[in-house]
Structure 1
Protein backbone atom coordinates (compact mmCIF):
# COMPACT_ATOMS: atom_id res chain seq x y z
CA UNK A 1 0.00 0.00 0.00
CA UNK A 2 1.44 3.35 -1.03
CA UNK A 3 0.79 6.33 1.26
CA UNK A 4 0.13 9.79 -0.07
CA UNK A 5 1.49 12.54 2.17
CA UNK A 6 0.51 14.62 3.94
CA UNK A 7 -1.54 11.91 5.57
CA UNK A 8 -4.45 13.11 7.70
CA UNK A 9 -5.76 10.77 10.40
CA UNK A 10 -9.12 11.87 11.80
CA UNK A 11 -9.00 11.07 15.52
CA UNK A 12 -11.81 13.36 16.65
CA UNK A 13 -13.32 10.53 18.72
CA UNK A 14 -9.96 9.51 20.21
CA UNK A 15 -8.61 12.39 22.26
CA UNK A 16 -4.85 12.24 22.78
CA UNK A 17 -3.59 14.00 25.88
CA UNK A 18 -0.64 16.36 25.47
CA UNK A 19 1.62 13.69 26.99
CA UNK A 20 0.28 10.97 24.65
CA UNK A 21 0.87 13.18 21.61
CA UNK A 22 4.36 14.00 22.87
CA UNK A 23 5.16 10.29 23.32
CA UNK A 24 3.75 9.48 19.86
CA UNK A 25 6.13 12.02 18.32
CA UNK A 26 9.14 10.94 20.43
CA UNK A 27 8.55 7.26 19.64
CA UNK A 28 8.26 7.95 15.89
CA UNK A 29 11.11 10.39 15.19
CA UNK A 30 11.16 9.52 11.48
CA UNK A 31 7.68 11.07 11.12
CA UNK A 32 6.91 14.78 11.15
CA UNK A 33 3.58 14.74 13.00
CA UNK A 34 1.29 17.66 13.75
CA UNK A 35 -2.18 17.78 15.27
CA UNK A 36 -4.74 20.36 14.20
CA UNK A 37 -7.17 22.07 16.56
CA UNK A 38 -9.87 19.51 15.73
CA UNK A 39 -7.66 16.63 16.86
CA UNK A 40 -6.72 15.22 13.45
CA UNK A 41 -3.15 13.93 13.18
CA UNK A 42 -1.24 15.13 10.13
CA UNK A 43 1.87 13.25 8.95
CA UNK A 44 3.94 15.59 6.80
CA UNK A 45 6.43 14.44 4.17
CA UNK A 46 10.04 15.59 4.30
CA UNK A 47 10.88 18.49 2.00
CA UNK A 48 13.26 18.37 -0.94
CA UNK A 49 16.58 20.12 -1.27
CA UNK A 50 15.29 23.40 -2.74
CA UNK A 51 12.62 23.85 -0.06
CA UNK A 52 15.05 22.88 2.69
CA UNK A 53 17.66 25.36 1.45
CA UNK A 54 15.12 28.20 1.22
CA UNK A 55 13.77 27.39 4.67
CA UNK A 56 17.31 27.47 6.09
CA UNK A 57 17.97 30.86 4.47
CA UNK A 58 14.87 32.38 6.08
CA UNK A 59 15.78 30.97 9.48
CA UNK A 60 19.31 32.37 9.12
CA UNK A 61 17.94 35.83 8.27
CA UNK A 62 15.53 35.73 11.22
CA UNK A 63 18.25 34.40 13.52
CA UNK A 64 20.76 37.07 12.47
CA UNK A 65 18.20 39.81 13.18
CA UNK A 66 17.40 38.23 16.55
CA UNK A 67 21.07 37.84 17.45
CA UNK A 68 21.48 41.60 16.93
CA UNK A 69 18.32 42.65 18.81
CA UNK A 70 18.11 39.83 21.41
CA UNK A 71 14.35 40.41 21.54
CA UNK A 72 13.29 36.76 21.53
CA UNK A 73 13.98 33.16 20.54
CA UNK A 74 14.03 31.67 17.03
CA UNK A 75 12.84 28.11 16.33
CA UNK A 76 13.20 25.70 13.40
CA UNK A 77 10.60 23.44 11.84
CA UNK A 78 11.58 20.67 14.27
CA UNK A 79 9.85 22.53 17.12
CA UNK A 80 6.23 21.70 17.88
CA UNK A 81 4.20 24.34 19.70
CA UNK A 82 1.13 23.33 21.70
CA UNK A 83 -1.24 26.10 20.66
CA UNK A 84 -3.98 27.49 22.94
CA UNK A 85 -6.67 26.28 20.50
CA UNK A 86 -5.61 22.65 21.00
CA UNK A 87 -3.45 22.21 17.92
CA UNK A 88 0.18 21.08 18.01
CA UNK A 89 1.97 22.70 15.09
CA UNK A 90 5.52 23.05 13.78
CA UNK A 91 6.01 26.14 11.59
CA UNK A 92 8.95 26.24 9.19
CA UNK A 93 10.36 29.14 11.25
CA UNK A 94 9.02 30.73 14.40
CA UNK A 95 9.88 33.50 16.83
CA UNK A 96 8.71 34.05 20.42
CA UNK A 97 9.18 37.34 22.28
CA UNK A 98 11.73 36.90 25.08
CA UNK A 99 9.55 37.72 28.13
CA UNK A 100 6.86 35.30 26.93
CA UNK A 101 9.47 32.56 26.48
CA UNK A 102 11.00 33.23 29.88
CA UNK A 103 7.54 32.99 31.51
CA UNK A 104 7.47 29.27 30.61
CA UNK A 105 8.81 26.78 33.13
CA UNK A 106 12.01 24.86 32.29
CA UNK A 107 9.87 21.71 31.85
CA UNK A 108 7.56 23.51 29.39
CA UNK A 109 10.56 24.69 27.38
CA UNK A 110 12.02 21.16 27.17
CA UNK A 111 8.94 19.49 25.70
CA UNK A 112 6.49 21.01 23.22
CA UNK A 113 6.14 24.61 24.46
CA UNK A 114 2.52 25.48 25.36
CA UNK A 115 2.62 28.84 23.62
CA UNK A 116 1.70 30.41 20.30
CA UNK A 117 4.70 32.02 18.63
CA UNK A 118 4.48 35.75 17.98
CA UNK A 119 5.66 35.24 14.39
CA UNK A 120 5.79 32.31 11.97
CA UNK A 121 6.93 31.59 8.43
CA UNK A 122 5.51 28.76 6.36
CA UNK A 123 7.11 27.88 3.03
CA UNK A 124 4.89 25.90 0.65
CA UNK A 125 6.80 22.91 -0.68
CA UNK A 126 5.94 20.93 -3.81
CA UNK A 127 3.93 18.44 -1.73
CA UNK A 128 1.92 21.03 0.25
CA UNK A 129 -1.74 21.68 -0.51
CA UNK A 130 -2.38 25.44 -0.51
CA UNK A 131 -5.83 25.22 1.12
CA UNK A 132 -4.46 23.05 3.93
CA UNK A 133 -1.64 25.55 4.54
CA UNK A 134 -4.09 28.47 4.53
CA UNK A 135 -6.18 26.66 7.15
CA UNK A 136 -3.02 26.22 9.21
CA UNK A 137 -2.29 29.96 8.92
CA UNK A 138 -5.82 30.72 10.14
CA UNK A 139 -5.25 28.35 13.05
CA UNK A 140 -2.12 30.32 13.94
CA UNK A 141 -4.11 33.57 13.99
CA UNK A 142 -6.84 32.03 16.14
CA UNK A 143 -4.15 30.88 18.58
CA UNK A 144 -2.67 34.36 18.98
CA UNK A 145 0.16 34.47 16.43
CA UNK A 146 0.53 38.18 15.71
CA UNK A 147 2.17 38.06 12.26
CA UNK A 148 2.75 35.23 9.82
CA UNK A 149 3.96 34.85 6.26
CA UNK A 150 3.02 32.07 3.85
CA UNK A 151 5.62 31.94 1.07
CA UNK A 152 4.13 30.35 -2.03
CA UNK A 153 6.70 29.58 -4.77
CA UNK A 154 4.12 27.85 -6.97
CA UNK A 155 2.07 31.05 -7.32
CA UNK A 156 5.02 33.49 -6.92
CA UNK A 157 3.21 35.10 -3.97
CA UNK A 158 3.40 35.80 -0.26
CA UNK A 159 0.32 35.81 1.95
CA UNK A 160 0.60 38.03 5.04
CA UNK A 161 -1.59 37.27 8.05
CA UNK A 162 -2.05 39.82 10.85
CA UNK A 163 -4.22 39.84 13.96
CA UNK A 164 -7.57 41.56 13.32
CA UNK A 165 -6.94 42.19 9.62
CA UNK A 166 -7.75 40.60 6.29
CA UNK A 167 -5.07 38.50 4.65
CA UNK A 168 -2.81 40.48 2.31
CA UNK A 169 -1.49 38.82 -0.85
CA UNK A 170 1.60 40.19 -2.57
CA UNK A 171 3.21 39.18 -5.85
CA UNK A 172 6.93 38.57 -5.88
CA UNK A 173 9.39 40.18 -5.65
CA UNK A 174 8.50 42.00 -2.43
CA UNK A 175 10.14 43.36 0.69
CA UNK A 176 8.47 42.04 3.85
CA UNK A 177 8.56 43.96 7.10
CA UNK A 178 8.44 42.55 10.61
CA UNK A 179 6.33 45.59 11.47
CA UNK A 180 5.85 46.15 15.22
CA UNK A 181 6.21 42.43 15.97
CA UNK A 182 9.82 42.20 14.73
CA UNK A 183 10.99 45.82 14.74
CA UNK A 184 13.58 46.48 12.07
CA UNK A 185 13.39 43.01 10.51
CA UNK A 186 13.03 42.95 6.74
CA UNK A 187 13.08 40.05 4.34
CA UNK A 188 13.52 40.49 0.61
CA UNK A 189 11.66 37.70 -1.18
CA UNK A 190 12.55 37.48 -4.84
CA UNK A 191 10.72 35.51 -7.48
CA UNK A 192 11.30 31.79 -7.07
CA UNK A 193 13.24 30.33 -9.99
CA UNK A 194 11.55 27.31 -11.53
CA UNK A 195 14.12 24.54 -11.87
Structure 2
Protein backbone atom coordinates (compact mmCIF):
# COMPACT_ATOMS: atom_id res chain seq x y z
CA UNK A 1 0.00 0.00 0.00
CA UNK A 2 1.48 3.35 -1.05
CA UNK A 3 1.64 6.12 1.52
CA UNK A 4 0.65 9.68 0.74
CA UNK A 5 1.85 12.82 2.47
CA UNK A 6 -0.79 15.49 2.96
CA UNK A 7 0.41 19.03 3.58
CA UNK A 8 -2.04 20.86 5.82
CA UNK A 9 -1.93 24.49 6.92
CA UNK A 10 -0.96 25.11 10.54
CA UNK A 11 -2.39 26.04 12.86
CA UNK A 12 -5.21 23.75 11.71
CA UNK A 13 -8.59 23.98 13.43
CA UNK A 14 -11.03 21.04 13.44
CA UNK A 15 -14.31 20.31 15.16
CA UNK A 16 -13.83 16.89 16.81
CA UNK A 17 -15.77 15.61 19.78
CA UNK A 18 -13.19 14.10 22.14
CA UNK A 19 -13.33 13.33 25.85
CA UNK A 20 -10.54 14.67 28.04
CA UNK A 21 -8.92 11.22 28.16
CA UNK A 22 -9.18 10.80 24.38
CA UNK A 23 -7.64 14.23 23.87
CA UNK A 24 -4.78 13.38 26.24
CA UNK A 25 -4.19 10.10 24.36
CA UNK A 26 -4.17 11.97 21.03
CA UNK A 27 -1.49 14.35 22.32
CA UNK A 28 0.55 11.49 23.81
CA UNK A 29 0.59 9.55 20.52
CA UNK A 30 1.42 12.57 18.32
CA UNK A 31 4.33 14.25 20.07
CA UNK A 32 5.56 15.96 16.90
CA UNK A 33 2.55 18.28 17.09
CA UNK A 34 1.09 20.54 19.73
CA UNK A 35 -2.65 20.40 20.37
CA UNK A 36 -5.05 22.73 22.12
CA UNK A 37 -8.83 22.69 22.54
CA UNK A 38 -10.91 25.84 22.67
CA UNK A 39 -13.97 26.49 24.83
CA UNK A 40 -16.15 25.92 21.76
CA UNK A 41 -14.69 22.43 21.23
CA UNK A 42 -12.36 23.32 18.34
CA UNK A 43 -9.23 21.18 18.13
CA UNK A 44 -6.20 23.34 17.23
CA UNK A 45 -3.20 21.54 15.72
CA UNK A 46 0.14 23.36 15.57
CA UNK A 47 3.34 22.18 13.91
CA UNK A 48 6.82 22.39 15.50
CA UNK A 49 8.27 25.91 15.55
CA UNK A 50 11.19 27.25 13.54
CA UNK A 51 14.67 27.47 15.02
CA UNK A 52 14.51 31.13 16.00
CA UNK A 53 11.22 30.76 17.86
CA UNK A 54 12.45 27.58 19.53
CA UNK A 55 15.54 29.39 20.78
CA UNK A 56 13.44 32.23 22.16
CA UNK A 57 11.14 29.75 23.87
CA UNK A 58 13.97 27.96 25.63
CA UNK A 59 15.50 31.26 26.74
CA UNK A 60 12.15 32.30 28.17
CA UNK A 61 11.69 28.97 29.96
CA UNK A 62 15.28 28.99 31.20
CA UNK A 63 14.94 32.39 32.86
CA UNK A 64 11.63 31.46 34.48
CA UNK A 65 12.90 28.07 35.72
CA UNK A 66 16.13 29.59 37.08
CA UNK A 67 14.10 32.03 39.18
CA UNK A 68 11.65 29.32 40.25
CA UNK A 69 14.38 26.99 41.49
CA UNK A 70 16.00 29.73 43.52
CA UNK A 71 12.93 30.73 45.52
CA UNK A 72 10.87 27.50 45.55
CA UNK A 73 7.56 29.41 45.58
CA UNK A 74 5.94 27.29 42.90
CA UNK A 75 6.37 25.24 39.74
CA UNK A 76 7.33 26.46 36.27
CA UNK A 77 6.25 24.80 33.00
CA UNK A 78 7.38 24.95 29.38
CA UNK A 79 5.29 24.99 26.21
CA UNK A 80 4.54 21.25 26.33
CA UNK A 81 2.49 21.55 29.54
CA UNK A 82 -1.30 21.36 29.14
CA UNK A 83 -3.86 23.03 31.41
CA UNK A 84 -7.58 22.30 31.66
CA UNK A 85 -9.04 25.74 32.27
CA UNK A 86 -12.07 26.08 34.54
CA UNK A 87 -14.64 27.02 31.91
CA UNK A 88 -17.16 28.60 34.27
CA UNK A 89 -15.75 32.04 33.59
CA UNK A 90 -15.67 31.58 29.82
CA UNK A 91 -18.71 32.89 27.97
CA UNK A 92 -20.73 30.39 25.94
CA UNK A 93 -18.29 27.58 26.74
CA UNK A 94 -19.50 24.02 26.24
CA UNK A 95 -16.11 22.26 26.21
CA UNK A 96 -13.30 22.41 28.75
CA UNK A 97 -10.55 24.55 27.18
CA UNK A 98 -7.15 22.88 27.19
CA UNK A 99 -4.29 25.29 26.58
CA UNK A 100 -0.48 25.13 26.47
CA UNK A 101 1.14 28.52 27.14
CA UNK A 102 4.71 29.00 25.93
CA UNK A 103 5.71 29.35 29.60
CA UNK A 104 3.72 29.33 32.82
CA UNK A 105 3.94 29.09 36.59
CA UNK A 106 1.68 28.10 39.49
CA UNK A 107 2.00 28.69 43.23
CA UNK A 108 3.25 25.83 45.42
CA UNK A 109 0.02 25.42 47.38
CA UNK A 110 -1.95 24.90 44.18
CA UNK A 111 0.54 22.28 42.96
CA UNK A 112 0.49 20.53 46.32
CA UNK A 113 -3.32 20.36 46.24
CA UNK A 114 -3.21 18.15 43.12
CA UNK A 115 -3.19 14.37 43.29
CA UNK A 116 -0.42 12.36 41.63
CA UNK A 117 -2.85 11.30 38.90
CA UNK A 118 -3.81 14.92 38.21
CA UNK A 119 -0.14 15.93 37.96
CA UNK A 120 0.53 13.25 35.36
CA UNK A 121 -2.17 14.52 32.98
CA UNK A 122 -3.38 17.97 31.95
CA UNK A 123 -3.37 20.07 35.10
CA UNK A 124 -6.97 20.94 36.07
CA UNK A 125 -6.36 24.63 36.72
CA UNK A 126 -5.31 27.89 35.13
CA UNK A 127 -1.72 29.01 35.78
CA UNK A 128 -1.12 32.04 37.99
CA UNK A 129 1.29 33.36 35.37
CA UNK A 130 1.35 32.78 31.60
CA UNK A 131 3.46 33.87 28.64
CA UNK A 132 2.65 33.63 24.95
CA UNK A 133 5.47 34.34 22.50
CA UNK A 134 4.36 35.43 19.05
CA UNK A 135 6.17 33.31 16.46
CA UNK A 136 7.01 33.89 12.81
CA UNK A 137 4.06 31.69 11.79
CA UNK A 138 1.76 33.87 13.90
CA UNK A 139 2.95 36.83 11.83
CA UNK A 140 2.80 35.09 8.44
CA UNK A 141 0.76 36.93 5.85
CA UNK A 142 -0.87 33.74 4.61
CA UNK A 143 -2.56 33.21 7.97
CA UNK A 144 -3.82 36.78 8.19
CA UNK A 145 -1.56 38.76 10.52
CA UNK A 146 -4.37 40.66 12.24
CA UNK A 147 -6.40 37.48 12.76
CA UNK A 148 -3.45 35.55 14.24
CA UNK A 149 -2.66 38.39 16.64
CA UNK A 150 -6.30 38.51 17.71
CA UNK A 151 -6.20 34.74 18.32
CA UNK A 152 -3.29 35.20 20.71
CA UNK A 153 -4.98 38.16 22.39
CA UNK A 154 -8.15 36.11 22.85
CA UNK A 155 -6.06 33.36 24.48
CA UNK A 156 -4.57 35.88 26.88
CA UNK A 157 -8.04 37.14 27.78
CA UNK A 158 -9.16 33.55 28.29
CA UNK A 159 -6.32 32.98 30.75
CA UNK A 160 -7.26 36.22 32.48
CA UNK A 161 -10.94 35.24 32.74
CA UNK A 162 -9.99 31.84 34.13
CA UNK A 163 -7.89 33.20 36.97
CA UNK A 164 -4.41 34.06 35.65
CA UNK A 165 -3.04 36.89 37.76
CA UNK A 166 -0.36 38.05 35.32
CA UNK A 167 0.25 37.39 31.63
CA UNK A 168 2.62 38.61 28.95
CA UNK A 169 2.05 38.50 25.19
CA UNK A 170 5.51 39.08 23.71
CA UNK A 171 5.94 40.08 20.06
CA UNK A 172 9.62 39.91 18.98
CA UNK A 173 8.78 41.31 15.53
CA UNK A 174 7.48 44.64 16.85
CA UNK A 175 9.33 44.48 20.20
CA UNK A 176 6.02 45.06 21.91
CA UNK A 177 4.62 43.44 25.05
CA UNK A 178 0.99 43.33 26.14
CA UNK A 179 0.66 42.94 29.91
CA UNK A 180 -2.49 41.28 31.26
CA UNK A 181 -3.29 41.69 34.95
CA UNK A 182 -6.25 40.33 36.89
CA UNK A 183 -9.15 42.80 36.83
CA UNK A 184 -7.21 45.46 34.91
CA UNK A 185 -7.00 46.83 31.39
CA UNK A 186 -4.23 45.59 29.12
CA UNK A 187 -1.01 47.62 29.28
CA UNK A 188 1.13 47.91 26.14
CA UNK A 189 4.89 48.34 26.49
CA UNK A 190 7.03 49.49 23.56
CA UNK A 191 10.51 47.95 23.26
CA UNK A 192 11.07 47.17 26.97
CA UNK A 193 14.45 45.73 27.93
CA UNK A 194 13.04 43.77 30.87
CA UNK A 195 9.77 42.73 32.50
CA UNK A 196 9.03 42.47 36.19
CA UNK A 197 7.12 39.58 37.74
CA UNK A 198 5.65 42.14 40.14
CA UNK A 199 4.03 40.77 43.30
CA UNK A 200 2.92 37.57 41.52
CA UNK A 201 6.48 36.37 40.90
CA UNK A 202 8.48 38.38 43.47
CA UNK A 203 12.00 39.09 42.32
CA UNK A 204 11.57 37.62 38.84
CA UNK A 205 12.91 39.71 35.97
CA UNK A 206 12.72 38.58 32.35
CA UNK A 207 15.55 40.08 30.30
CA UNK A 208 14.32 40.72 26.78
CA UNK A 209 17.56 41.72 25.05
CA UNK A 210 18.32 38.02 24.42
CA UNK A 211 14.80 37.45 23.10
CA UNK A 212 14.56 40.43 20.76
Asked whether the equivalents of residues 15 and 41 of structure 2 are also in contact (C-alpha less than 8 Å), the reply is: yes
Spell out, residue by residue over 1:7-53, the C-alpha distance to the aligned partner (whole angstroms, 9 max, x if none): 11134xx3x22112112212222221100111111001211111111
Please say which structure displays the higher CA radius of gyration: 2
Q: Which segments of structure 1 move beyond 4 Å, counting only runs of 4 or more?
A: none
**What is the aligned-residue RMSD (CA, Å)?**
1.5
- Tell me the secondary structure at the aligned position of residue 59 of structure 2: helix
Give the C-alpha shift of residue 192 in structure 1. Answer: 6.0
Give the C-alpha shift of residue 169 in structure 1. Answer: 0.7
- Tell me the secondary structure at the aligned position of residue 62 of structure 2: helix
Q: In 1, Cα distance between the equivalents of 2:80 and 2:121?
A: 12
Specify every segment of 5 or more residues in structure 1 that has no aligned partner in the other structure, as ranges.
Answer: none
Q: In 1, Cα distance between the equivalents of 2:54 and 2:186?
A: 26
- Tell me the secondary structure at the aligned position of residue 155 of structure 1: coil
Spell out, residue by residue over 1:61-101, the C-alpha distance to the aligned partner (whole angstroms, 9 max, x if none): 11111111100001111111111122101111110101100
The verdict on how the C-alpha distance between 1:172 and 1:19 changes in structure 2, with shifts beyond 3 A counting, is same
Q: In 1, Cα distance between the equivalents of 2:159 and 2:114?
A: 19
Question: TM (normalized to structure 2)?
Answer: 0.85
1:92 has 2:102 as partner? yes
Relative to structure 2, which stretch is displaced further, 38-47 or 22-31?
22-31
1:7 has 2:6 as partner? no
Q: In 2, Cα distance between the equivalents of 1:6 and 1:124?
A: 13
Match of 1:157 among 176, 186, 194: 176
Q: In 2, Cα distance between the equivalents of 1:9 and 1:66?
A: 36
Give the C-alpha shift of residue 174 in structure 1. Answer: 3.3
Match of 2:36 among 18, 31, 34: 34
Specify every segment of 5 or more residues in structure 2 that has no aligned partner in the other structure, as ranges.
Answer: 1-5, 88-95, 139-147
Spell out, residue by residue over 1:127-165, the C-alpha distance to the aligned partner (whole angstroms, 9 max, x if none): 122111111111111111111101101222011111100
Aligned length in residues: 190
Question: TM (normalized to structure 1)?
Answer: 0.92
The verdict on how the C-alpha distance between 1:50 and 1:17 changes in structure 2, with shifts beyond 3 A counting, is same
Asked whether the equivalents of residues 12 and 46 of structure 2 are also in contact (C-alpha less than 8 Å), the reply is: yes
